[in-house]
Amino acid sequence: MIRNFIPASLIAIVFLVGCAAGIRDIELTTFPPTPVEYRNYEQVYHPIEGPQPAKFPDGFEFRFSAVEPQPDGSVVQRLNETWGSAIKWEAERHRGKTQGRYVTETTFSEVWPGVVYAPLWLYSEGSAEGGHEFDFEYMNGRLEYNLHNGNGGFRMRSVEKDLGGHRVRWMIERRPGRVTMTVLSLTDGWTDKLVVRRATVAQWAQQKGAPASLRFPPDSIAMFPLTELWRCQTPSWCGTWQPLAPDQTINMTVHGYRFSR
């Protein structure tokens, strides 16, 4: 009997193509064309405000006004030398979901040194467990999949890819014992994926230099999505900041989103 064996590399390609088709077909929700009400946290989203000294350089902060709704239903998050922008999805935070599928679609105006583009990440706010995160973070032409627990951070995967000007979909799907992170460029079809399992994180935690707090977030902990655009104070990680021209901003357009069970 003749058996036909499919190379593992071909199986991986077919798998990624199937994943790309799935994320491409998701219908997104757009934003209202008018700004959200200031400090009304019962809305779909609200911009984050203020400095974060643990990760920002001195004099840098998030500003409410740096998140600008557009007539086409998108939102533009802007950044310059002294301020950046962030969206906290308040409606999802109030739902207290412990699993779900989260999708955003973004375009980075350009890739600028010293800037961190966080087009989608999940966070557990205010839990006794501390702040757990599953993050997409992009900087200096490099995409990182990062896991944080409290004050510790761990790079699960790193991929070199120029996404400047690309229209990109980002998806994080959280299920018991498993988190799947998928990215797809609608511009050139490039796609990448990471499946994070409890056992995998336990193995990573044994590696030399891994944070002492590294662990897979408990399935019972609620998490919700955010998007951020900020200046980094660690050049060895995100590159050395270069001055912008007068009135120039770095922009991340969020074209739409879809959050579901």
Domain-wise residue ranges, the chain: 8-260
- Its CATH class, for the domain covering 8-260, is mainly beta
What is the pLDDT at residue 126? 78
Residue 83 and residue 45: Cα distance in Å, rounded?
19
Residues 6+ apart with CB under 8 A from 133: 121, 122, 123, 124, 146, 147, 148, 149
Q: Which helix (H) or strand (E) holds 17?
A: helix 8-24
What is the pLDDT at residue 105? 99
List the chain pLDDT tens, one digit each, 261 residues. Answer: 333 443 444 434 444 555 676 899 999 999 999 999 999 999 999 999 999 999 999 999 999 999 999 999 999 999 999 999 999 999 999 999 999 999 999 999 999 999 999 999 999 997 777 789 999 999 999 999 999 997 779 999 999 999 999 999 999 999 999 999 999 999 999 999 999 999 999 999 999 999 999 999 999 999 999 999 999 999 999 999 999 999 999 999 999 999 999
What is the pLDDT at residue 46? 98
> What phi, psi does 207 have (nearest 5°)?
-70, 150
Residue 147 and residue 167: Cα distance in Å, rounded?
24
Identify whether the C-beta of residue 49 lies closer than 8 Å to the C-beta of residue 230: no
> What phi, psi does 173 have (nearest 5°)?
-115, 120
- Strand 100-108 with 142-149, pairing: unpaired
Entry field: residues in the chain: 261
What is the pLDDT at residue 152? 78
Nearest of 197, 203, 212 to residue 153 by alpha carbon: 212
Nearest of 111, 103, 94, 97 to residue 45 by alpha carbon: 94
What is the pLDDT at residue 130? 72
> What phi, psi does 172 have (nearest 5°)?
-125, 120
Give all strands of the β-sheet with 191-197 in edge-to-edge order.
67-69, 75-79, 250-260, 100-108, 167-175, 178-185, 191-197
- Strand 83-88 with 61-62, pairing: parallel
CB atoms closer than 10 angstroms to residue 27 = 7
